[in-house]
Amino acid sequence: MKIAVIGGGLAGLCAAWLLSPRHQVTLLERHARPGFVASSVALGDGADALRVDVPLRVFYPGYYPTLVRLYQALGVATEPVSYATTLTDADGRAYFRWRNLRLGSLSLPYLLPQDLLTRRARRIAGAALAFGRLARQAAARGELAGQTLGEFVAQHRLAPEFVDGLLLPTWATIATCTLQDARAYPAEVVAGYLVSGVARQSVRRAVQGADDVAARLLAGIGRVECGADVQALRAEPDGSALRVQRADGSAERFDHVVLATQAHQALALWQDARPDEAAALGAFRHCALEVLMHRDAAFMPRARRDWSAVNARVGPGLDRPETTIWINAVQPALRHAAPLFQTVHAQREPGPGLLIARARFERPLVDAASQRALLALQRQRAEPGRRVWLCGSYAEAGVPLLESAVRSAYGVAAALQSTA
């Protein structure tokens, strides 16, 4: 079959790679090159240059089994990294910190006595243990459906020091959303992430970065067209094929089209979507965010001894945590290099001459409306005679991360193969 995959992020790359061995696949990407980072930065020169993904891409096997399967099929080498975390008030003073003890594939969070010197830290630690136990029990009994994270913690009267000082900032960092959006997250999605082994398994990264993963996928795709400004997708009047219209006025016919874009982008392209399909796509919200790569240590905790791999600044007036990744602590090859940082949701600009790169992109949000829309999309995908397929991190259950993007690609590829 002749198949177009529109969108060259991880979902589109994976879908095109899976379909290419048996079909005539064209990957259409509007940017100059495909890939699933907003950008990457090379440190050093020539063959010895090290690339840093922006944003940094990490995973842990328990929640990312499909991504692990893909990396194994591609021969992508991965390595464990530290994801110890420090939380600070708006003035940069640390109020809670946990560390990682890594033993092979295991990664165990722990606290030192000095981490528990304040009453605030002790209340956070105690409530964190209670939350983990309650979430596991409620998930096992199927009691979380229809409940938000905010409703769950209110029901169990968990300490506000924990809710506002650890849980919501941590989840807003993971899901790259506001604190309000974190509170509205479905509790079963949060529990599903937390009980999959994040407290026991090492967080990992692809050793050669996301560009290497993208290159391996691209090597297996028959035809790749970059700078493809696709304007519209319509069915032919007789329903026998689909027509992809480009900005230059040219058009091409395909038997099937995979829309591997964000939901609102798919809605804009799909000109003759049915009302129920359009309604489902329109129910997904997205959060715009910016990542800064820089060398400004003022974004880190005030005391150097409090620096961790992940550092979240929380305080009055901040609607989301300002989260700074200490790249040297996460990317082992840079351990002895000059300090390098990535900040998500920066509330200020780095100092003069300290900014290296700036990347802007969007992430899907998960809430009650998106959960209902997801069920509708899954029903629609199972309809006979389908020619348009929706693929992306928003189109699968769970947190919209690399795992859901890859799982969506595998699901679309399997469903599309069954129509052959």
Q: How do residues 241-299 score in pLDDT, each as one tens digit?
A: 999 999 998 999 999 999 999 999 999 999 999 999 999 999 999 999 999 999 999 99
Contact indicator for 303, 28 with CB cutoff of 8 Å: no
Examine domains 2-49+209-283+366-417 and 78-204+286-364 and report if their fold is the same: no
Predicted pLDDT of residue 43: 78
> CA-to-CA distance for 260 and 393, rounded, in angstroms?
9
Question: What is the model's pLDDT at position 361?
Answer: 87
Q: What is the pLDDT of residue 195?
A: 85
Whether the CB-CB separation of 281 and 376 falls below 8 Å is answered with: no
Backbone angles phi and psi of 250, in degrees to 5: -75, 160
Burial class (CB in 10 A: 0-12, 13-18, 19+), 132: middle
- Residue ranges of the domains in the chain? 2-49+209-283+366-417, 78-204+286-364
How far, CA to CA in Å, does 142 sit from each of 32, 135, 166, 191? 46, 10, 25, 11
From the list 393, 388, 176, 170, the residue with the least C-alpha distance to 263 is 393
Euclidean distance between CA atoms 64 and 303, whole angstroms: 34
- Residue 19 to residue 24: CA distance in whole angstroms: 8
Spatial distance between the Cα atoms of 70 and 53, rounded to a whole number of angstroms: 19
Res 197: pLDDT? 82
373 vs 101 pLDDT, higher one: 373
Q: Are strands 203-206 and 78-81 parallel, antiparallel or unpaired?
A: antiparallel
Q: Report how far residue 294's alpha carbon sits from residue 343's, in angstroms, rounded to the nearest whole number.
A: 8
Task: Give the pLDDT score at 419.
Answer: 80
Residue 241 burial (CB < 10 Å; 0-12/13-18/19+)? Answer: middle
Using the predicted structure, report yes or no on whether residue 106 has a pLDDT greater than 90: no
Q: How far apart are CA 87 and CA 120, in angstroms?
A: 12
Pair of tokens at residue 192:
């599903």
What is the predicted pLDDT for the residue at 378?
92
pLDDT band of 420, cuts 50, 70, 90 = low
Q: Tell me the CA distances in angstroms from 73 to 14, 19, 57, 66, 69, one per residue in order.
A: 11, 15, 19, 11, 6
Residue type, 55: P
CA angle (353, 356, 359) in 5-degree steps: 135
Torsions phi, psi for 87 (to 5 deg)? -110, 135
Q: Is pLDDT of 45 > 70?
A: no
Cis preceding-peptide flag for 160 (omega within 30 of 0): no
* β-bridge partners, 186: 148
Distance set, CA 324 to CA 121, 142, 327, 345 (Å): 21, 35, 9, 9
Give the CATH number of domain 2-49+209-283+366-417. Answer: 3.50.50.60
Dihedrals phi, psi of 117, to nearest 5 degrees:
-70, -30
For 83, 167, 220, 305, the CA distances from 128, given in Å and listed in that order, are 17, 8, 45, 23
- Rounded to an integer, what distance in angstroms lies between the CA atom of residue 173 and that of residue 159? 20
pTM metric for this prediction: 0.94
Q: Could you tell me the two tokens for 2?
A: 């002749």
Name the token pair of 70. 């893909």
Q: Is the distance from CB of 395 to CB of 377 less than 8 angstroms?
A: yes
Instruction: Quick: pLDDT tens for 350-386.
Output: 999 999 999 888 999 999 999 999 999 999 998 999 9
**Residue 274 CB partners (closer than 8 Å, separation 6+):** none
Tell me: pLDDT of 126 over 80: yes
What residues does 234 pair with on adjacent strands? 243
pLDDT at 313 over 60: yes
* Residue 146 backbone zone (phi > 0: left; psi -120 to 50: alpha; other: beta): left
Q: Is the pLDDT of residue 21 over 60?
A: yes
The one-character DSSP state at 21 is T
Answer whether residue 38 shows pLDDT above 60. Answer: no
Whole-number Å distance between alpha carbons of 81 and 300: 19
Indicate whether 18 pLDDT > 70.
yes
Is 70 exceeded by the pLDDT of residue 93? yes
- The CATH code of domain 78-204+286-364 reads 3.90.660
Cα(379)–Cα(195) distance, integer angstroms: 28
Per-residue pLDDT at 50? 77
The string of pLDDT tens digits covering residues 178-235 is 999 999 999 999 999 988 888 788 899 999 999 999 999 999 998 999 999 999 999 9
